Copies of this chain bind each other. A is one copy, B any other.
Amino acid sequence: MNKIDVVSTEVEKNNKDKSLFVIKIGGNVIDNSENLHRFLKDFTALDGYKILVHGGGKAATQLSETLGIEAKLVEGRRITDIDTLRVVTMVYGGLINKNIVAQLQRFSNNAIGLTGADGNFIRTKKRPVKTIDYGFVGDIDENSINPNNISNLMKAGFTPVFCALTHDGEGQLLNTNADTIASALAVAMAKLYPTTLIYCFEKKGVLKDIIDESSLVNEIDPKGYEELKAQQIIHSGMLPKMDNAFSAIACGVNAVIIGHSDDLGNLKKNKPFGTRLSGNL
C-alpha cells in the first residue's frame, strides 16, 4: 500500500469512525453565565465532531425595548421587520455568538462563529407572504445545506458555532428558527457522519409526570411515541418538537436527545442523559 492509499483510507475511516453531535442551546443556557460556562466545558469535552447552534436569549428583546422597537406579533406569530433584523444581526451574530466563541477558545476548542451567510452554509428562502407577512424570515428547504462545505471546515480543525441567521444568496440576511437550523444541519450532516441531534432545554427530558424530574423517560422509539401520545403523557406544545425529532430520525439522523444542558457531561461519562429518541429498536 503506497502513501496516497494510506491517506485516503484514513480519511474514509475517519468519516465513518467520527461521530457528530449537533447541539442546540436556548435562552436558559445563554442568559446564565454559570450554566453557559459549564455547558461549553462539557460540550468541548465530547469526543468527535461537534456543531453548536444557539438561539437568542433575553439580550435581543432587551436591546429592542431600549431602542424603542416594538415586538410585532400577528396572530401570535413574531414578525421580523427591518429594525428587528438589525437587532438580531447585532445580538445573535455579534454579541452572543462571538462571546460563545471566545469562551470556547478559552477551553482550547477551536470554534468559528457563523451565520448561514458565512461560507454560504445555510441558504434559505424568504418566507412567502400568504395571510401573514413574517418579514425577514428565512425558511430552510432540503437544498439549504451542503454538508461537504461544513465538513471541510470541521476537517480543517474548526468547530462551527451557528446562530439563528441565514441568507438568501442575494445579499439579504434572514432570521431563522434555531431549532429548525439544528435539525436541518443534523439531517444534512447525517449523509456524511453518524449524527446525534441534541436539544438542550429547561427540563431533564420527557417526563411521565411534568412536576417530577425523576419520572424521566429514558428512551422512546416510534412505537413508544404512539403509546405515550395515547396515554396523553406527551401532548400539546411537546408534540411538534417530538414530530420534528422523529422526522429527523426518518431522514437519517441516528438519534435525537432532549435534555437539560446541565446534564450534557453525562454523555462523556456514559451516564443517562435526557430522553433518547431513536428509530425502531
Contacts and interface: CB of A to CB of B under 8 A. Distances in A.
Contacts of A67: 66-67
A158 B117 contact: no
A99 B89 contact: yes
Contacts of A111: 117-119
Nearest to A123: B105
A15 B141 CA distance: 38
Contact of A173 (B4, B98, B110): B98
Q: How many copies does the complex hold?
A: 2
Contacts of A170: 106
A19 B259 CA distance: 49
B113 A101 contact: no
Interface residues of A, number: 47
B102 A172 contact: yes
| Interface class of chain A by DSSP | helix
Contacts of A106: 169-171
A280 to B, nearest CB: 38
A112 B114 contact: yes
A90 interface: yes
A62 to B, nearest CB: 11
Contacts of A167: 102, 105
Given A94-B89, A111-B118, A156-B153, A105 B173 contact: no
A149 B173 CA distance: 27
Most chain B CB within 10 A, of A2, A92, A101, is at A101
Nearest to A168: B102
A120 B106 CA distance: 10
Given A2-B4, A102-B173, A119-B158, 18 more contacts: A2-B2, A3-B4, A4-B7, A66-B67, A90-B91, A90-B94, A94-B94, A101-B118, A102-B167, A103-B171, A105-B169, A111-B118, A111-B119, A112-B114, A113-B115, A149-B157, A153-B156, A156-B156
Interface of A: 2-4, 7, 63, 66-67, 86, 89-95, 97-99, 101-103, 105-106, 110-115, 117-120, 149, 152-153, 155-158, 165, 167, 169-173
